[in-house]
């Protein structure tokens, strides 16, 4: 298996090379040269593996289709080490929860529980594996890695909990100053491990993301300081997320003749892009529904064909803050496929074109119709009022408490229900991470896992800085030299 850049760079690389690299040399994102195709027999085999051996074995089977430069026994051991009941709280790892009212014959829809990991967010599903993969490969090479990341809330804590104490790894995590929930801030800033560095940027998430890309595009600095990424621009992280689409499908169906749809709360497009990959492999997915909050750049594209990034002033601060993103860095992977893998055109619109114009328009391109017709994408938008109403309705009807981002997903999913096709909403976080909105909606505090009691009052370590690339480079240099 070889990987190529979405922007047409001539290099073809193996998995472990791009694991540690992040962006391609031309600023593009890595994708496999082709997606492995699963026939009926292969799907049946994966269903049998899921049913008889569980999530870790399923992860190994899926990952091994893309990773051929780690010995199979080692990859299997890494999957078993990562996906355990002790870490994720349940034997199933990602149990499916039906939203079914009393007396109903069938559920209205399902929640796939992805938030049982150490930081109570779906990012743990990939980040726990990424931490083990990094440690394994760095030990194999005798090297170190400095991870530079950007977070709007959940990626940061998931990365830091996965990397804390890992040999050969330092983490420099940027986040928008004052724009995460108090619980999210406490999760990150209370980690005092020597290899963890938190940087709060005066700005919004997109400013943090731009800094990460700018540093990654400085090839001399990147090579000297061994800069890697854990954001969803890292293919390994997105690949790990592909697995839970298979697990959700196998739980919702009895055989491989059935289809399911998924609704995915999304800001950076990584979570739903993993569903796109699963669908390209042959998983019987009917629709992939993208749910946004008021920062609706993705919904606008799927409705109109126009992708229009917003500046800091036009990026709304919402009650689903992990989706307060107006420049979806992972979207380039899907558009590359949509444009029939034309690297030159992808480079033209995502490189200088997007920087210069601030938007691109595919509405007149015949290939845009494929977004819905061939690739199965739909979309919808949710507001704060929608979130409150959905949280109230789900709790009153089903007795289930959901967080704000999952509420965005449920609201949009209900607009795209098909009685013949089960709808699965990817749960993104536990309600405790956004307690103030839960209190506003339900008049009560969400349950808090015992290990997080009093976390907001713990000592914190964080550096507040301007959105300045050179300052970030200087900070990294100071802590590496």
- The structure's pTM equals 0.93
Residue 193, domain member (yes or no): no
Distance separating alpha carbons of residues 414 and 407, to the nearest angstrom: 11
- For residue range 169-191, what is the model confidence (pLDDT) as tens digits? 999 999 999 998 899 999 999 99
Structure tokens at 136: 């394994």
pLDDT of residue 232: 80
316 closest CA partner among 393, 234, 378, 408: 408
Residue 432, domain member (yes or no): yes
44: left (phi over 0), alpha (psi -120 to 50) or beta: alpha
pLDDT of residue 327: 87
Please name the residue that has the structure tokens 């992972």: 330
241 — pLDDT class (breaks 50, 70, 90): very high
pLDDT of residue 147: 94
- For residue range 335-381, what is the model confidence (pLDDT) as tens digits? 999 999 999 999 999 988 898 999 999 999 999 999 999 999 999 99
pLDDT of 481 above 80: no
SS3 269: coil
Distance separating alpha carbons of residues 31 and 38, to the nearest angstrom: 18
Tell me 204's DSSP state: -
pLDDT of residue 351: 87
Residue 48, domain member (yes or no): no
457 closest CA partner among 194, 196, 120, 183: 183
Distance separating alpha carbons of residues 242 and 219, to the nearest angstrom: 29
- For residue range 380-401, what is the model confidence (pLDDT) as tens digits? 999 999 999 999 999 999 999 9
Q: Are 23 and 233 in contact (CB under 8 A)?
A: yes
Distance separating alpha carbons of residues 232 and 123, to the nearest angstrom: 10
291 — pLDDT class (breaks 50, 70, 90): very high
Residue 351, domain member (yes or no): yes
Number of domains in the chain: 1
pLDDT of residue 178: 92
65: left (phi over 0), alpha (psi -120 to 50) or beta: alpha
Residue 349, domain member (yes or no): yes
Distance separating alpha carbons of residues 475 and 446, to the nearest angstrom: 38
- For residue range 413-442, what is the model confidence (pLDDT) as tens digits? 999 999 999 999 999 999 999 999 999 999
Residue 342, domain member (yes or no): yes
What is the mean predicted confidence (pLDDT) over 60-83? Answer: 98
pLDDT of residue 215: 93
Residue 122, domain member (yes or no): no
The set of residues, in sequence order, having a beta carbon less than 8 Å from that of 39 and lying 6+ positions away, is 282
Residues taking part in catalysis? 123
Distance separating alpha carbons of residues 72 and 67, to the nearest angstrom: 9
How far is residue 18 from each of residues 79, 227, 230, measured CA to CA in Å?
Answer: 19, 12, 12
Q: What percent of the chain has pLDDT over 90?
A: 86
Tell me 469's DSSP state: H
- For residue range 97-127, what is the model confidence (pLDDT) as tens digits? 999 998 898 999 999 999 999 999 999 999 9
Query: Which structural domain, as residue segments, surrounds residue 414?
Result: 96-117+236-442
22 — pLDDT class (breaks 50, 70, 90): confident
Distance separating alpha carbons of residues 414 and 423, to the nearest angstrom: 9
Q: Between vectors from CA 24 to CA 10 and to CA 9, what angle results, nearest 5°?
A: 20
Number of neighbours of residue 39 by Cβ within 10 angstroms: 9
pLDDT of residue 120: 94
Distance separating alpha carbons of residues 63 and 112, to the nearest angstrom: 20
What is the mean predicted confidence (pLDDT) over 5-31? Answer: 93
Structure tokens at 466: 């301007």
Q: Provide the CATH number for the domain around residue 432.
A: 3.40.50.1100
Residue 69, domain member (yes or no): no
Measured on CA atoms in the order 147, 237, 210, 345, is the torsion positive or negative? positive
């Amino acid at each position: 298996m070889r990987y190529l850049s979405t922007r047409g760079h001539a290099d073809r690389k193996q998995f472990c090379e791009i694991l540690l690299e992040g962006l391609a040399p031309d600023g593009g994102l890595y994708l496999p040269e082709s997606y492995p195709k699963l026939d009926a027999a292969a799907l049946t085999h994966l269903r049998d593996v899921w049913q008889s051996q569980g999530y870790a074995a399923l992860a190994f089977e899926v990952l091994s289709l893309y990773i051929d430069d780690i010995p199979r026994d080692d990859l299997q051991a890494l999957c078993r080490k990562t996906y355990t009941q002790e870490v994720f709280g349940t034997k199933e790892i990602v149990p499916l929860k039906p939203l079914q009212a009393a007396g109903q014959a069938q559920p209205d829809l399902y929640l796939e529980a992805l938030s049982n990991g150490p930081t109570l967010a779906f990012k743990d599903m990939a980040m726990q594996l990424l931490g083990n993969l990094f440690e394994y490969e760095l030990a194999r090479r005798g090297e170190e890695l400095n991870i530079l990341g950007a977070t709007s809330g959940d990626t940061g804590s998931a990365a830091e909990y996965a990397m804390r104490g890992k040999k050969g790894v330092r983490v420099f995590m940027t986040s928008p100053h004052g724009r995460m929930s108090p619980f999210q801030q406490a999760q990150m800033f209370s980690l005092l491990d020597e290899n963890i560095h938190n940087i709060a940027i005066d700005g919004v998430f997109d400013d943090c993301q731009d800094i990460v890309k700018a540093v990654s595009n400085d090839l001399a600095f990147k090579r000297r300081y061994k800069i890697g990424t854990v954001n969803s621009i890292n293919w390994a992280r997105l690949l790990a997320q592909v697995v839970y689409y298979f697990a959700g499908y196998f739980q919702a169906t009895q055989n491989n003749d059935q289809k399911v749809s998924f609704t995915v709360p999304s800001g950076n497009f990584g979570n739903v892009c993993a569903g796109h990959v699963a669908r390209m492999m042959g998983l019987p997915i009917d629709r992939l529904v993208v749910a946004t909050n008021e920062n609706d750049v993705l919904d606008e594209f799927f409705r109109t064909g126009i992708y229009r990034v917003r500046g800091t002033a036009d990026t709304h601060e919402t009650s689903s803050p992990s989706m307060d993103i107006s420049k979806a860095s992972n979207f380039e992977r899907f558009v590359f496929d949509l444009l029939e893998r034309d690297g030159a055109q992808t480079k033209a619109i995502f490189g200088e074109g997007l920087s210069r114009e601030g938007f691109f328009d595919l509405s007149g391109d015949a290939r845009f119709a494929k977004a819905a017709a061939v690739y199965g994408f739909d979309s919808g938008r949710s507001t704060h009022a929608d979130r409150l109403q959905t949280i109230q309705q789900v709790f009153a009807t089903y007795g289930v408490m959901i967080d704000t981002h999952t509420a965005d997903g449920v609201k949009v999913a209900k607009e795209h229900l098909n009685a013949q096709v089960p709808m699965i909403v990817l749960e993104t976080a536990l309600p405790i991470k956004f307690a103030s909105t839960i209190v506003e909606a339900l008049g009560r505090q969400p349950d808090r896992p015992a290990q997080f009691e009093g976390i907001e009052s713990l000592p914190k370590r964080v550096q507040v800085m301007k959105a300045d690339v050179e300052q970030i480079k200087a900070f990294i240099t100071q802590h590496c030299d």
